[in-house]
Amino acid sequence: MESNHQRQQGQPKDPSLQGVFNARTRPNVSKPSPEMLRRRRPRSGQMFPQGQAGAPIHLTGLFAMGRRANGAPPGRRMMFELAVAHLRTMFRKDHMKINTRGFLFALLMGSAGCSTHRNAHIAPAADVDMDGKVLARFQHEIEEYIELHRDLVKRIPNVGPNATAEEIAAHRDKMTKGIQAERKGARQGDVFKPSVEAAIRRIIAREISSPEGQQMIQELKQGNPKVEGVPNQADPTSARSERVLVAVNALYNTEAPSSSMPPSLLLKLPQLPDQVRYQFVGRDLILRDTEANVILDFIKDAITDRSVPR
């Protein structure tokens, strides 16, 4: 009997060689066949386990690198594009199984195109429906902020992965004070410029009004400080609410929980560097530096759904 692995390989490959997040920005949600459920595992020793949408996993990885290469300096981007072009040729010629040297070349070029681009602070998700100029402006603002953040880290070194509680707390306090001092005078709209804000509002409205919008609403309520409290120490079967002041340069209340970001929505927004993230406080979308615990900017009433408290 034909194995599941063989069947997957026999499927036509995506002609545009799109990887899992390139095509739909989310994994394939098709249900597995009963046969697949029985097996459910890639065959041991499989050289190129299948990625989503029929693309081999090494291509998925390459396209993940591709997202990193977006916005890279032209030279590096060119190397990445060269790698993709080379792989396309290999597929056309069906050399994939035998041309190890060619594959290694493509991999090397692809890696070179993005590996030195670890400083790419913001990579647009493929599905981000945002005008190129608007997105570029947002990228620019974020990169400027990250530059500031990095300058601060030079003076306040990171604690590393084996830190004590004291070191973490001391580092966070210094970062908070440092960012607040550096951004003194920052105002709403400095990062979320009006055009960026309009685009983000449009994306959120579209996603929330989709058939799966209510699922997203339910998830972003979870941990949302306007909805959820913090269990009490004296009686952890009860909870108290913690207020979060939504203001530029305000400390995010360390006692308060953080809202979940529904993956479906997150994948439609411009991707952010690790230091900052989107969150909701009530209906407001905030941009928060998690290391410094400071609110960088916010969009008031980004969600209009009335079931989410203001």
Partner 1 sequence: METRLGRLALFVVIAASLARLPTAAAQDLKLPNKGAIRFAVIGDMGTASRAQREVGQQMSLFRLKFPFTFVITVGDNILGSESAADFKAKFEQPYADLLKAGVKFYASLGNHDNPEQRNYAPFSMGGVRYYTFRPIAAGDDKALATGVRFFSLDSNYLDAEQLVWLEKELSSSDSDWKIAFFHHPLYSSGRTHGSSLDLRKTLEPLFLRYGVDVVFSGHDHYYERVKPQQGITYFVSGSAGSLRKGDYGRPQPFSATGFDRDFAFMLVEIDGPKLYYQAVSRTGQSVDSGVIESAPVK
Restricting to residues 117-156, name those near partner 1 by CB under 8 A.
125
Q: Looking at 35, 129, 144, 255, which residue binds partner 1 (CB under 8 A)?
A: 255
Q: Looking at 13, 14, 24, 42, which residue binds partner 1 (CB under 8 A)?
A: 42
Least CB distance from residue 247 to partner 1, whole Å? 19
User: Could you give the strand order of the β-sheet that contains 284-289, starting from the edge strand earlier in sequence?
Assistant: 276-281, 284-289, 294-299
243 binds partner 1 (CB under 8 A): no
Contacts 24+ apart (CB under 8 A), 74-83: 76/112, 76/113, 76/114, 76/116, 76/117, 77/113, 78/113, 79/109, 79/110, 79/112, 79/113, 80/109, 80/110, 80/112, 80/113, 80/114, 81/113, 82/109, 82/113, 83/107, 83/108, 83/109, 83/110, 83/113
Binding mask 56-75 for partner 1 (x = CB under 8 A): -x--xx--x--x--------
Which amino acid type is present at position 37?
L
Least CB distance from residue 230 to partner 1, whole Å? 5
26 binds partner 1 (CB under 8 A): yes
Q: Looking at 113, 178, 257, 282, which residue binds partner 1 (CB under 8 A)?
A: 257
**Residue closer to partner 1, measured from CB, 18 or 60:** 60
82 binds partner 1 (CB under 8 A): no
**Residue closer to partner 1, measured from CB, 43 or 140:** 43
**Residue closer to partner 1, measured from CB, 11 or 158:** 158
233 binds partner 1 (CB under 8 A): yes
**Residue closer to partner 1, measured from CB, 20 or 79:** 20
Interface segment toward partner 1; rule CB under 8 A; list 27-35, 82-90, 149-157, 189-197: 27-35
44 binds partner 1 (CB under 8 A): yes
205 binds partner 1 (CB under 8 A): no
Compute CA distances 160 → 153, 163, 173, 193, 260, whole Å: 12, 6, 16, 34, 26
CA separation for the pair 87, 24 (Å, rounded): 21
18 binds partner 1 (CB under 8 A): no
Least CB distance from residue 185 to partner 1, whole Å? 26
Dihedral angle of Cα 239, 243, 244, 245, to the nearest 10 degrees: 180
40 binds partner 1 (CB under 8 A): yes
CA separation for the pair 281, 292 (Å, rounded): 18
Three-state DSSP state, 288: strand
230 binds partner 1 (CB under 8 A): yes
CA separation for the pair 135, 124 (Å, rounded): 8
Using CB under 8 A as the binding criterion, the count of chain residues that bind partner 1 stands at 83
Tokens of 158: 């990171």
